[in-house]
A and B are shown apart, each in its own frame.
Chain A
């Protein structure tokens, strides 16, 4: 079983839609969970950071972590064409430990 699995996509939605992106993982030692956004041929840009289980909201973005199910989600409300990018989940065991990434899902928001 892969350590971090992410829906492969691609995903195409109309502008204004609610987007749900998900990752599952197998390593129960993961404590820190992140979502990064990556535009083509650029570095990953940190979107959301969560420690342990729970929800975190930042503007149109909400991150959820369910450690009992080993499942994390990123919700994007009122999606915009500028949200079109590849979204990567990443997680680590310790605060400054190596990140283990999902493969990423490419999102396209149609005007």
Chain B
């Protein structure tokens, strides 16, 4: 069964460093998403991406964050200068994008720890 994959599974970085989180969405899906979950808190939406541009973003997704689809299979989230409060589980998701059907399938996540 097709699934969303994410790498790395864990990332430890120093405050102020740049990190890139990578995702491979399900191959025929058209919408891509990033969410995060701080330990003990809700899953929160960060950004959605469709047709090579951001379609929606939350107020969390400030200038420190960027997304890119560098090729036909990968979808990346870059955090330019990490802060302690960026420590969280980051989930990538994708959906087919068919009208009226919006089931989002999630990857296993990348656990980011900023020291």
Contact = CB atoms under 8 A, between A and B. Distances in A.
Contact of A34 (B4, B35, B100, B103): B103
Interface of B: 4, 31, 33, 35, 41-45, 48, 50, 55-56, 58, 89, 91, 95, 97-109, 111
Contact of B48 (A36, A96, A104): A96
A102 B105 CA distance: 17
Contacts of A42: 108-109
Interface string A9-39: 0000000000000000000000010101000
B102 A97 contact: yes
B108 A98 contact: no
Contacts of B58: 98
B14 to A, nearest CB: 23
B42 A102 contact: yes
A95 B104 contact: no
A75 interface: no
B43 A95 contact: no
Contacts of A41: 89, 109, 111
Given A88-B43, A98-B58, A104-B42, A44 B106 contact: yes
13 contacts: A34-B104, A41-B89, A42-B108, A42-B109, A44-B106, A95-B98, A95-B101, A95-B102, A96-B48, A96-B102, A97-B48, A98-B48, A103-B42
Contacts of A88: 43
A63 to B, nearest CB: 13
Interface in A54-70: none
A43 B104 CA distance: 12
Contacts of A97: 48, 56, 102
